Amino acid sequence: MSDAAPVPSLRGKLLLIFDLDGTLVDSSPLHARAFEEAFAPHGVMVDYGTIAGMTTASAVERVAAGAGLQLDEEEKARLIGDKRARALRLIENELTPIAGAVEFVRAARPRFRLALCTSASRRGAEAALSRVGLTGCFDPVVTAEDVREGKPAPEAFLRALEAHGVPAGDALVFEDAESGLAAAAAAGIEAVRIDPADPSAVSWTQLLAALDEARP
């Protein structure tokens, strides 16, 4: 008996909303390295799994608090900027897409409205999309700079719904991180968990097949 998650039906959906890091692109190891390098001078070890999906600012605050590291506003801003700069260099030079993700987006684009909701900075998101050939595929692209509260708050997903005038029941979210899945739930949107390392999660290959089955 298989423990694989059921593949959701795409029939009746109007808007597909995508997370970026860890969902479309294999950037999680790169962000983990950037956080580790940024915090290394402070002697702090970073468990990236505890901050995956969070904005850089929120993640820095959580890591510092967990380590008992007291940061003034200048030091915090320096750490945030350092992490972002390191991550951007890695993204521009080493980033690869999650298997099947690019193919799914390109196949879905003529038939659905596509939006992107990411905890990345706009510069980082644009660099990632350019690196994997998905520039211009999503409208809107909601980044960390566009919301007051990042995931697990639902604000980014609600902005995507509002931009298209689509009710939550007609949308579908693709996410990898618990914070993103929680944000989708808070917005009332069905979510699909993507995790290439977990055979029980839904894969882009399965979703491509579901896309074909949903053709009128």
Q: What angle do CA 201, 185, 119 make, to 5 degrees?
A: 80
Q: Mean pLDDT, 10 residues at a time, over the chain (216 residues)? A: 70 96 93 94 92 90 93 94 94 96 97 96 94 98 95 97 98 95 97 90 92 71
For residue 88, give every residue at least 6 positions away whose Cβ sits within 8 Å of its Cβ, in sequence order, or none. Answer: 123, 124, 127
Can the peptide bond before residue 152 be classed as cis, meaning omega within 30 degrees of 0?
yes
Active site residues: 19, 21
Structure tokens at 45: 């070890």
Q: What is the pTM of this model?
A: 0.86
Residue 148 to residue 57: CA distance in whole angstroms: 12
| Per-residue model confidence (pLDDT) at position 113 | 98
Q: Compute φ and ψ for 22, nearest 5 degrees.
A: 85, -10
| Per-residue model confidence (pLDDT) at position 212 | 79
Q: Which domains does the chain have, with CATH numbers?
A: 15-26+96-213 (3.40.50.1000), 29-94 (1.10.150.240)
Q: Tokens 């590291």 sit at which residue? A: 69
Could you count the other beta carbons within 10 Å of the beta carbon of residue 55?
A: 22
Residue 89 to residue 20: CA distance in whole angstroms: 17
Residue 181 to residue 175: CA distance in whole angstroms: 6
| Per-residue model confidence (pLDDT) at position 2 | 47
